[in-house]
Amino acid sequence: MKKLVGVIAVSFVGVASATLPPPPPEAKAKAAEAAAKAAWEDKVGLYKLCVAMDRIADGYRQNLKTAGSTIPAPQSTQQCVDPGPYIAQVTPSTSKPLEASGAHSPPGIAATPPSRPEPAAVISPATGAKGG
């Protein structure tokens, strides 16, 4: 019984230590895009917090002014910087566009229309003789 438990434990250790294949480039690009968007969202959150703190400080000073108390000198802090709208990072696609892939039509100018009035047996007979 102890040997069976030992074999099972060793097999789990072998499975747990196996390495995963590297992620494909698309997954890496998607992860980089998610990280960029998360960083932008952090900047937006910090901007909103800065604006809210300024608004609260202004309200506090206004309340002191209406109460007739002395207003302490404001401390200098960094300006609130608006990060602007989120701009997605453009990653080049590895696949060719349809026009560049050559899949839509053969190169060159067509000498004949795509369809002919003759039946296929007349154009390329299987026996080698002209049909008719």
The mean predicted confidence, pLDDT, of the chain is: 79
> What are the residues whose beta carbons fall under 8 Å from the beta carbon of 33, sequence distance 6 or more?
88, 89, 91
CA proximity to 40, closest of 107, 86, 103: 86
**Block residue for tokens 């789990």:** 12
* pLDDT number for residue 89: 77
Q: Which residues have C-beta within 8 Å of that of residue 130, sequence separation ≥ 6?
A: 122
* Tens digits of residue pLDDT in 93-122: 555 555 655 555 666 676 776 666 666 666
Q: Which of 92, 99, 87 is nearest to 26 (CA)?
A: 92
Q: Name the DSSP letter for residue 76.
A: P
Model pTM score: 0.52
How far, in Å, CA of 86 to CA of 30, rounded? Answer: 16
Per-residue model confidence as pLDDT tens digits over 57-96? 999 999 999 999 888 888 888 899 999 999 887 655 555 5
CB atoms within 10 A of CB 41: 12
Distance separating alpha carbons of residues 121 and 59, to the nearest angstrom: 92
**Dihedral-angle region of residue 128 (phi above 0 means left; psi in -120 to 50 means alpha; beta otherwise):** left
- Can you give the residue ranges of every domain in the chain? 40-66
Please give the biggest Cα pair distance in the chain. Answer: 114
